[in-house]
Structure 1
Amino acid sequence: MAHRGSRSFESNDPASRPMGWASRRKQLAPGMIEFDTGKVEAKERLDYWSSDVLRRMSIARMDAGPGFFARLLRTQGRRGEFWDHTSDAIRVERGARRCASDGGDEIYVGLLLDGPSRVSQNGNDHALVAGNLYVVDFARPVRAEWSSHREIAIVIPRERVAALAGRRAMTLGGQRLDRPGLAELLASHLALTARRMRGLSSVGREAAIDAATDLACALLRSVADEAVDLPSGDVLTAALMVIDQRHTDARLSPARVAVAVGCSRSELYRAFAGQAESVAAAIWTARLERSRRMLALQPALDLSVAQISANCGFLDPSSFNRMFRNRYGMTPRDMRQLAGSRTTIA
C-alpha cells in the first residue's frame, strides 16, 4: 500500500528534499507519474521513499537491507486515482496525530497481487494473501505490515463514498471485501487495468479508472448497507470526530461535516442543540486550540504566526488575531513571546 496523498502529484515541500530527488519522479504521460527507488543511491532510498512517497504514513520498521526497492505508478482519473505499488518488506503506521494534522481522508480499496501482508484498522486485523481486496480509511489510524509485495488500488475522495454510504462510511476502514459479485468484478477490472495501463490512451486510462471508481463505490455502498445503523446519538460523536480530524482544512464547514458524517444539516444542528457550542463554533474552537498548542511550542517550532494561522485553517490573519485574543485574552504574538520566555527561564 503506497500512502502518498492523492490530491496532488507534487510534494508539499520540494525544497526540503535533496537535489535530484525530483528527477526520480518520472512523468510518463499526462496524469501518470512513477516514483522509483531504482535510480536513488542505496543509502538514500528509504529517506526518499519516506519523505517523497509515504507522506500519509510513518515507517515503524524496515526489514530490508540498504538496497530497499519500491516503485509506485499513480494515474489520475476524473473520479479517482489508480495506484500500482511494488515494495520490499516494510511496516508502516498512521497514528491519530497524523490523521488530525495532514487532512488525509481518502478511501483506499486495495487488491493484493503478491506477498502475504497484514492490515489493522477500526478493530479489524486481517492477514492478507494474493487476491484479497480490502479497505483503508486514511482519516482513521491504521497499521500495515508488508512482506515483499505488489498491490494495486483505486483511491476515492471521501465525499464520493460518504454521499453513497452515509455516516456508515466511517465503518468501512479495515474491512476485507471477500464476497462474490461486485468484489470479483472489481478485482478482475483492477488486475486487467494494471496489465494494460501503460498502453492505454489518455481517454482509455480515464475510462478504466472511472469504471474502477464506480465499481468500488458500488461495492462499498453494498457493504455499508449491510452494516447496522449507528444510533442517532452517534451523529454528535461522528461529527466531533470529523472536526477533530479535519479542522485544519479551511474549507471545513457545517455543510461539509454533515456530508462526511452522512446526515442532513438539520440532523447535525439538532445533535449540537444541547451542547455548549454550535457545530460552527466547535470547528473554530478546534482551530484555535491547535494554534494555541503550536504557538506554545515556540521557539522550537520555527513557524511565523501567519504560517501557524494558515496551518490551522484560518484564511484571514486579522480574523485569526481577533478570535485568538477574544478567546485567550492575548494576541498570538503575546502567546509566542510568553512561551519563549518560559523556555528561557527553564
Structure 2
Amino acid sequence: MLVLTLIESGEVLRDAAAGEQQSIGRGALGLYDPWRMCDYHWSPNAREVFLALPRQEVLTALGHEPGAMLLVPPRSVLAPILSTQLSQMALLLQSPTTLAASEYATLLEQTRSMAMLMLHNLGKQFLSKPADTTANLHQGRYQAAIRLMERNIHRHELDATAIATGIGCSRTRLYAAFAQQNTSVMQTLREIRLQRTKSLIEQTPQLHLGALSWRCGFTDQSSFSKLFKARFHVCPSEWHKHVWSRTNLSPSPL
C-alpha cells in the first residue's frame, strides 16, 4: 500500500537530505511509501488523516514511482476538494453512529476514487513535462547501488568509494543519486545490513550473534547490538527469543 495523508494541524519534520529537515505544515497533502527509509518527527499537536491506497493503482495513475514523498502541487485543482473530503470523513468517523456502516463505506470509496482521480491528473502533468535526464540517471545509479550493496554486505571494506567504483560513477554522482531519494549512501547500507541480520535472526535459531553480525558486514558485535536496538527498539538476543518462543522452540543462547 501507499499512504495518502492530510496534515490537519501541527507540523511534521522529515529528513529531506543529509543534515537537512523539511517542515510540512497544516493543509499539506503527501503520498508516502512505507517501504522507503525516512525519519519523521511529529509536533505534539500534530494531527493527520490517512487514506491507504493500493500501490499498483497509484503507480498506474501517476505513471511513475512517487518517490519518498510526493507533496501535491498547488496547481492540482482537485487537491482542495480532496482535502475537504478527507477532513469531513475524519469528523464523521469521530461519531460512528452518525451514519450506517454501508454509508461510511460508500463515502470512503468516493474519497478513494477522488484521490485516484487527483493522482491521475498529476500523472498527466508529469508526462507533459520534458524528460528529466539527470533524474533518470540518478534513479539508475541509485538502483544499481542498492543491488551492489545487497550482494556485497559481507564486505567490511564496502564504502561509498567502493560502491561508486562498482557501479561506474564518481562519488559525487553517487551522493547526488542518494540525495534525490532523501537518504545517504552509508545510511542506506546500514539499513540493508540491519534488515539482513534481523531476517537471519528470524530464520536461524542456532546462529551465533558474533558470526551473524560479521557475516552481514559489522566488524564489532557491541556496535552492531547498539545499532540494532536503536533501529528496532529491542536487543538482537531479545528479538531472537521473541521470534523463536512463538514457534515453541527453545532458542540457543546468543
Per residue, is there more helix in 1 or in 2? 2
TM-score norm. by structure 2 comes to 0.49
TM-score norm. by structure 1 comes to 0.37
Per residue, is there more strand in 1 or in 2? 1
